[in-house]
Amino acid sequence: MGILIVFARCISLLLSAVTFCMLVRMVLSFFPSMQDSRVAAFVTLVTEPFVIPVRALLYKLNIGQDSPIDWAFSLAYILIYSVRLFLPAV
């Protein structure tokens, strides 16, 4: 039982880091001069594996194609945050 708690805690920490990177990426999007920085490249590298599947799903469902809002990014953030909520609190 203890190993499952450790595993859940590690997954929770990983998802916390990803949600933090997503918040950093969102803030950096307001600063065009920062788009070519190493920080922006790093947070994009960390967050894209979580955003790409959601973006592909929304594209297949033809949702948000003409919207100026990146719905895939928003939905990925909500999904990751929801998974974190369902993990056992340690």
pLDDT tens track of the chain, all 90 residues? Answer: 688 888 888 998 999 999 999 999 999 989 988 888 999 999 999 999 999 999 999 999 988 888 888 899 999 999 999 998 888 765
pTM > 0.85: no
Single out the residue of 56, 86, 10, 68 nearest to residue 76, CA to CA: 56
